[in-house]
Structure formats: C-alpha cells, structure tokens
Structure 1
Amino acid sequence: MRDTFYPPRGGHGGCGRMHDGVAEGRGAVSLRPGLVAYKGIVPTLGQDVYIAPGAWVVGDVHIGDRTSIWFNTVVRGDVHFIRIGSDTNIQDNVTLHVTGKRFPLLIGNGVTVGHQAVVHGCVVEDDCLIGMGAIVLDGARIGKGSLVAAGAVVSPGTEVPPGSVVMGIPAEVKKTLTEEEKERIRETAEHYVKLARRYRHDEAMSRDRPIRGFLR
C-alpha cells in the first residue's frame, strides 16, 4: 500500500499545521464541526475533505485529499490510529474503529465503504468496495481492487487476494473481478469525489446567503 497512511503529523496536543478549519499553533485548538480531540490528539485532514453534518471524526485520524465522510458516520481513532487515503468515500451510518495496541485501521485510496458497514481494525487496500452492511473484522486484509459484498462478514485475520469478490457469513472468495468490474468501482469513487465537491459548494453558498424554499 502507498504511504498515504503515514502522513507527517505536526505532533499531538494541538501542535503543528492542519487543514480545513483546524487552527494552527500550540495549546488549545479550534476544531471544525464534526472533529473531536481525544487525549490531546486531534484529527488531521488533507485538502478538500468533506465531512457531512452529523458525522464524527475522533482522535488519531488522518483523512486524505478529496475524501468524504457522510451523514451519521463515526470514525473513532481513540485506542489506536486510523488512516484513510485520498479520493475515498465513507458513506452514511458507517462505523470505523480500532482495537487498542493491536489493530489500527488503514483504508486506501479510491475506496468506497457502503452505507452501514462496520470496518474494524483491518487493512483495506486501494480501489476496493465494501458493500452496504458488510462487516470487516480485526486483522483482516482486503487486497487491492476487491469487492466485499453487501452483508458479508469478513472474519478476523482473513487475507483476501487482490481483485477478489467475497460473499457470505463468513465471507469467502467467490470469483475474481473483471477489468470492467474494477473500472466500475473506480467510477463509484470518482462519482463521490464529484458529489462531495457539490455538497461543499452548496454548504458554502448557504452560509453566505439564505436558501429560498419552494412552496407548492
């Protein structure tokens, strides 16, 4: 996996430079809505990250450029760290968490994590799709360009080869993705980059002037 997951951090407790609404400087920090410090460690964001209203990002988390965190999702880097790459989308009601001293969470570039999935203390390599309601558990590794089907449960420690489709409870490899199917996964990630850009634009516009409602 690329070095996306280990970005330079400006230190803990509010030291160093951060993007997108997190103040610079030593001492107390001013956090944008949705970001929460834990034990003096604050989340850091790349450029053009979108965090939807109602989402929470806690503690030792870094989110890469153009990644989006959607409504009511929780990204909780309290007892270990979380690193999320660029151009990734974490959809509504997802839970991302870790296991203390054992399993951080690493999610690559161009990844789609579908609604209500739980991704816990594992590695998800670049260009994967984690389906709606799927669960990926501690120590699992999802190889690059793979698809975890909706509702699947990937058992602890499972190694999924690159380009695989896994389904079921417990999840098992069922087939290898075609190049066309891999391209559709990449297109989904690209769609969410554009969608998040639109949300960011409209939220900025609504702060500048009221939005007129329409009455039928």
Structure 2
Amino acid sequence: MSRTDQACAAVPLRAAGQQDHLRRGRAVSSVLSASRLLGATEPDSKPASLGLYLSRQAASLPRYVLEQVVTGICGGIPSIAGIAVRLLAYRLILKMDGLAVIESGVRLRFASHIRLGKRVYLDESVYIHATPGGVSIGDDTLVMHGAVLHVYNFRNLPHAGIRIGRHSLIGEYNVIRGQGGVVIGDRVYTSPHCQLIAVNHVFDDPGRPFVEQGITAQGIVVEDDVWLGSGAIILDGVRVGRGAVVAAGAVVTQDVPP
C-alpha cells in the first residue's frame, strides 16, 4: 500500500492536548462549545452588526480605516507601476522584511497581522484574512492566483495561524484554513485546488445537530520538501512528513510518513 493510500485510510486522529510544531511534531486540539463556535447570543439579544463586521476586518477602527484607504487607492493599479506603488504604500499596513511583489486585486484583511518575507510574490485575486494569530509567508515563496489563506480565528484560539516557509509555492485556488494552526515548511509545492483545513466539526451524536457539538482544531503540519498533487485535501490533525508526495485528489485523514 502506498504512503498516500495509507494516509487516506479511516483512522482516529491524534489525541487532544498536544501542541503543533514543525520541529517537534506535536498538535493542539481544542473542542469548543456551540455557543463559542458560532458566537451565539441569547434569543432576545441584538448583536451590534457594525461592531461585529469591523471586528472581523481589522484590529481596530483606525486600522480598518487605514487599511481600506491604502488598499482602495493602491490595490487596483495594474502593471509594474501598481507593483511599485504597493511596495511602498503597503508598508503602512503590513509587515515586509524586504521587497515583495503584490499584484492588483489582492485582498487583505487584518493586514497588521500579515508578514511577508523577502521576494514574496502574491498573484492576482489572492485573499489573505489574518485575524489574531496571523499569516507569515517566508522568503521567495509564491502564492498563486485565487489562493485563499484564512486564519478564521474569530474564537481567539491561541494556536491559530498560518506559517509558510521559504521557497514554497501555494498553487492556484488553494484554500488554507488556519483555525487550528497550519505550518508549512520550506520548498513545499501545492498544486492547484488543494485544501488544508485545520478545523473539523464534532459529530459524535447523530441525534443532535452538528452545530451544537462544537469543533476540533488540532492543526496541520506539512514538513519540508513535500509535493501535494492537484486537488489533494489535508484534514485537521494531519502531519505530512518530509519529502512525501500526496497523490492528486487524495483525502488525507492520518499522518503521512517521511
């Protein structure tokens, strides 16, 4: 049986209580109640819709205004002229370790929690939503057209975030959901339409709606020199070992050995 076939077998995910880390291989698991998961309110309460919206867009109201003004003015300028303008202007709203190429149409939320390494490339229509926990992209990494990097940490999980190493490539229309924490190593290539989803719904009781049973958020680790084939799906709690190759279309539910 191939490594990919082994990874697709139905097996229990790793136990809760460990902490994900690229070097040490440990994973955090967090199970949240439905009220925390959904941000539920009492039936008679009236949540402040504007405040809720702003809390999901930026770290504060002044940051929201700054980020919207900068991206609104500079985000749609085409060609190399736009790249040059964004190289200067976007330093006001996110962290850049050096030169970075940001194409037109890139959408950023919680930009103050985004860090770009040297010579990072963000292609057109990339969407990065950092929220508390943040998104970090290492030197010489490319994020291609239509990719979505969304931490989705609206419950303030301490281990949430997306960390991508150096010399990696995130393929077209990838979806990376970092609520439980996603760590991607160096020289990792993900083909088009891959998904890494570091969160899962609990469904232990078929007699209850899944939205009342909380979530798990163990996290995902993809070690150095991994290649994910087109359409591969990596589910919460999985570690893909160094140098592994995951077949196109695979649904990975357990660790893949190096």
TM-score normalised to structure 1 length: 0.59
Residue of structure 1 in register with 2:182 after alignment: 117
Q: Which amino acid aligns with 1:75?
A: S
Q: Which amino acid aligns with 2:250?
A: S
Instruction: Report the Cα offset of residue 57 of structure 1.
Output: 2.8
Q: Does 1:49 align with 2:106?
A: yes
Q: Does 1:108 align with 2:171?
A: yes
Q: Does 1:129 align with 2:192?
A: no
Q: Which amino acid aligns with 1:56?
A: I
Residue of structure 2 in register with 1:187 after alignment: none
Instruction: Report the Cα offset of residue 33 of structure 1.
Output: 4.0
Q: Does 1:98 align with 2:165?
A: yes
Residue of structure 1 in register with 2:232 after alignment: 146
Contact 1:44–1:63 (CA under 8 A) maintained in structure 2: yes
Q: Which amino acid aligns with 2:226?
A: A
Output the CA distance in 1 between the equivalents of 2:127 and 2:92. 14
Residue of structure 2 in register with 1:73 after alignment: 134
Output the CA distance in 2 between the equivalents of 1:34 and 1:161. 38
Instruction: Report the Cα offset of residue 141 of structure 1.
Output: 0.5
Q: Which amino acid aligns with 1:131?
A: I
Unaligned runs of 5+ in 1: 1-15, 24-28, 173-216
Instruction: Name the structure where strand makes up a greater proportion of residues.
Output: 1
Q: Does 1:84 align with 2:170?
A: no
Contact 1:62–1:84 (CA under 8 A) maintained in structure 2: yes
Residue correspondences, number: 144
For residue 165 of structure 1, the aligned residue among 251, 254, 257 is 251
Contact 1:20–1:48 (CA under 8 A) maintained in structure 2: no
Closer, same or farther in 2 for the Cα pair 1:75/1:87, shift >3 Å? same
Q: Deviations over 1:97-138 (max 9, x none)?
A: 325xxxx11000110001221122211110010121211110
Identity fraction in percent: 17
Q: Deviations over 1:166-205 (max 9, x none)?
A: 1213469xxxxxxxxxxxxxxxxxxxxxxxxxxxxxxxxx
Unaligned runs of 5+ in 2: 1-79, 152-159, 199-218
Q: Deviations over 1:55-84 (max 9, x none)?
A: 31322211111111112432232xx31100
Q: Which amino acid aligns with 1:22?
A: R
Contact 2:244–2:256 (CA under 8 A) maintained in structure 1: no
Instruction: Report the Cα offset of residue 34 of structure 1.
Output: 4.1
Residue of structure 2 in register with 1:188 after alignment: none
**After alignment, is 54-63 or 152-161 more displaced?**
54-63
Q: Which amino acid aligns with 1:154?
A: V
Contact 1:35–1:43 (CA under 8 A) maintained in structure 2: no
Q: Which has the higher contact order (CA 8 A, sep 6+)?
A: 2
Output the CA distance in 2 between the equivalents of 1:18 and 1:124. 27
